[in-house]
């Protein structure tokens, strides 16, 4: 794995599993909106109600593998406590209905759905950005996917315009540079965009 030297001191990452759903809510719907994405765009069952997304993600959080990973940092206001500061959503393609049938992202051979994982989205809380948290989450995602039988991990990040920062609204899919920094290779383009920026297929093989 690429070196993670220089990461934020005290950063801890763990699966968004049983007992962590309140932290998932903090990351994905901190304002309590009646309808939110809940990082389910790619894996929401067909025909499911948008209103049921929270309950569906809660159900996924009680299963193995977890639907994502959470990042924590020491919270000075809590003494020895921690604050949740980051989220990455990931899943095998076998659990990602939209990826199986996407018209804008390359489709994976059905025979590889269970062993090819997809990194779906990143969320880092304001005040904690540009501190290496997304990179640490991505590196941990590779390890988590490998531990659960993945042969490859893919992402579909944006290509920033030269000399310009990626708008926050487009950065939730990650950037090409972020994925490359964790050992992913650019393997192809897509017809998808985020914030009008082109998205590419970045892939990391986990078996030779």
Per-residue model confidence as pLDDT tens digits over 60-109: 999 999 999 999 999 877 667 899 999 999 999 999 999 999 999 999 99
pLDDT at 4: 43
- Assign 38 to helix, strand or coil: coil
> Where do we find the tokens 């941990």?
140
pLDDT at 67: 97
Strand partners for 204: 153
Q: What is the pTM of this model?
A: 0.92
Cβ atoms within 10 Å of 199's Cβ, excluding its own: 23
- Assign 22 to helix, strand or coil: helix
pLDDT at 6: 43
Q: Identify the structural domains of the chain with CATH numbers, from first to last.
A: 12-205 (3.40.630.30)
Low-confidence ranges of the chain (pLDDT < 50): 1-6
pLDDT at 78: 66
Dist. CA 15–CA 43, nearest whole Å: 18
Cα 141 to Cα 104, 138, 182: the distances in Å are 24, 5, 10
- Outline where DSSP puts E strands in 33-158: 68-74, 82-92, 116-124, 152-155
């Amino acid at each position: 794995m690429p070196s993670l030297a220089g990461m934020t001191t005290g950063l801890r990452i763990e699966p968004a599993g049983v007992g962590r759903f309140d932290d998932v809510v903090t990351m994905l719907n901190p304002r309590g909106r009646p309808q939110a994405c809940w990082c389910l765009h790619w894996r929401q069952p067909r025909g499911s109600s948008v209103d049921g997304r929270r309950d569906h993600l809660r159900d996924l959080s009680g299963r193995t593998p977890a639907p994502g990973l959470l990042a924590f940092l020491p919270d000075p206001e809590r003494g020895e406590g921690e604050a949740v500061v980051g989220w990455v959503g990931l899943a095998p393609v076998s659990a990602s209905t939209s990826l199986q049938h996407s018209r804008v992202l390359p489709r994976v051979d059905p025979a590889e759905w269970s062993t090819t994982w997809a990194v779906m989205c990143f969320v880092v809380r304001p005040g904690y950005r540009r501190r290496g948290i997304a990179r640490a989450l991505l590196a941990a995602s590779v390890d988590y996917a490998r531990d659960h039988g993945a042969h490859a991990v893919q992402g579909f990040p944006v290509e920033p315009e030269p000399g310009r920062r990626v708008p926050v609204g487009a950065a939730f899919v990650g950037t090409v540079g972020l994925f490359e920094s964790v050992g992913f290779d650019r393997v192809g383009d897509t017809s998808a965009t985020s914030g009008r920026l082109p998205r590419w297929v970045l892939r990391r093989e986990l078996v030779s």
